[in-house]
Amino acid sequence: MNILSIAINEIKRDFRDVRTLIFMLAFPIVLMLVLGTALSNAFNTKTSIPDIQVLYKDTTTDALSQYFEAFAKEVSKSGIHFKKISNHTDGKEEVKQNHYDGYVEINNDGIKLYESDRSGIENNIMEGMLTSFVSKYNVATEVAKVDPEQVSTVIASGQHDDYIKETSLHSAKQPSAMDYYAITMTTMIVLYGAMGASYLIRGERIRGTADRLVASPIRKGEIFLGKILGSTVRNSLCVLAVILFSKFVFKVNWGNHLGFMFLVLLTEVLLAISFGLGISYIAKTGEASRTIVMVVVQFASFFGGAYFKIENTGEGILHIITKLSPLTWENAAITKMIYANDVSAVMPAVLVNIGVAGIFLLIAIISFQRREGL
């Protein structure tokens, strides 16, 4: 009962601290909005191909000219437009000035394609398309030597109006900028809970209430557990508020495993509180503990992908540093749950959180018991 009373008192005191409360709630929400909006293009995995404009000059008089005109008419349905020019127009110069994506010369020696160096995907499409046409024409030429009546069948075979297909691989299963930063800002603000935890016991000594708590008919262990419980509940409620706000206001996709996701975040809350509490006993002064916690949290946020995606780190020192950040395994576990429906990532993250929290909590307990007061 004493533990519960201390926890409730701790929660009330925390919620009276308006500045800290605003920081825990407004800070992640504002960063979600700013980063999710400003960096939305960086998370756009869709590539749209515009219509391709191609000039061509035809100086032949044989069947190749007729077949190419029929081919040009067919591919125009897919947004590849061929425009015939006169002998007085310099097609190469038009392409060089980037007025057109390509220029094709058709003569008795064959077909030549000139491309713009500013068109990447368009060049590949034009090359593949013309290669296919030339191959089919060569086949038709050989067929004409044997059975001219079958030439029209060869030319018509395989004609379709979908030369360009825009296909997105798992686009619905990739987080948008807002989705990504909703996850990373939430896990980051949980880690910031270590700042408050570093003053969880020290704050009583600063306020001069530590002696009164020790003199009261409450055991030191109850005080210790009550304050941890109160801080855990306070931080968990803030995290829940951020998740609900982002879900219903920003329309963030939090997936279908909210229970497992909150379990990961709850154990991260315990990790943050234990870390802050342990550092408060390791450091000699409050300023030193606050500095240590701030530096660690900032490094963990930076290398954990809170501000931008960190991908393809290889096997070097950067890979090791990113793996040491708690946010790396938190974000990975939550992302897998949401977008891969993979709940197997939950337990490793939970166990690591509990293991690290246990180490710092053990340091705090041993130091707490050795002190005469709080």
Read off the CATH number of the domain in which 71 is found.
3.40.190
Q: What is the pLDDT of residue 171?
A: 45
**Domain membership flag for residue 161:** no
Domain boundary (127, 156, 185) is at 156
**pLDDT tens digits along 201-239:** 888 878 777 778 777 888 888 888 999 999 999 999 999
User: How far is residue 209's CA from residue 335's CA, in Å, rounded to a whole number?
Assistant: 43
Token digits for 162?
A: 């979908």
Claim: this prediction has a pTM higher than 0.75? no
Residue 162 lies in a domain: no
Kindly state whether residues 18 and 74 are assigned to the same domain: no
**Mean pLDDT, the chain, as a whole number?**
82
CB atoms near residue 340 (< 10 Å): 13
Handedness of CA 183, 189, 192, 196 (dihedral sign): negative
Kindly state the helix (H) or strand (E) to which residue 114 belongs, with its residue range. strand 110-115
| pLDDT score of 163 more than 50 | no
At 295-337, the pLDDT tens digits run: 999 999 999 988 888 877 767 788 888 888 999 999 999 999 9
pLDDT of residue 335: 92
Give me the pLDDT at residue 153, please. Answer: 60
Q: What range does the domain containing 59 cover? A: 52-156
pLDDT, greater one: 209 or 249: 249
Give residue for tokens 């897998």: 336
Q: Which residue has the higher pLDDT, 99 or 248?
A: 248
Q: Are residues 8 and 85 in the same domain?
A: no
What's the pLDDT score for residue 30?
A: 93
Last residue of a domain, one of 112, 127, 156: 156
What is each CA distance from 11 to 178, 216, 365, in whole angstroms? 31, 20, 21
Q: Please give the radius of gyration of the chain, using alpha carbons only, rounded to the nearest integer.
A: 33
Amino acid 180: pLDDT: 92
111, 251: one domain: no
Do 300 and 364 lie in a common domain? yes
Domain presence at residue 62: yes
Q: Is the pLDDT of residue 160 over 60?
A: no
Q: Which percentage of the chain shows pLDDT scores above 70?
A: 85
pLDDT value for 45: 55
CA distances from 308 to 35, 36, 297 (A): 9, 11, 16
Quote the pLDDT of residue 191.
94
- pLDDT above 90: residue 241: yes
Query: In total, how many domains does the chain have?
Result: 2
145-156 pLDDT per residue, tens: 666 555 556 555
Q: Are residues 123 and 180 in the same domain?
A: no
Nearest to 272 by CA among 231, 305, 328, 309: 231
Task: Tell me the per-residue pLDDT of 73-113, one tens digit each, with 9 for 90 and over.
Answer: 877 877 788 888 877 778 888 888 888 888 888 887 778 88
Please give the average per-residue pLDDT across 341-369, as a whole number: 92
Edge-first strand order for the sheet with 102-107 is: 80-84, 52-58, 102-107, 110-115
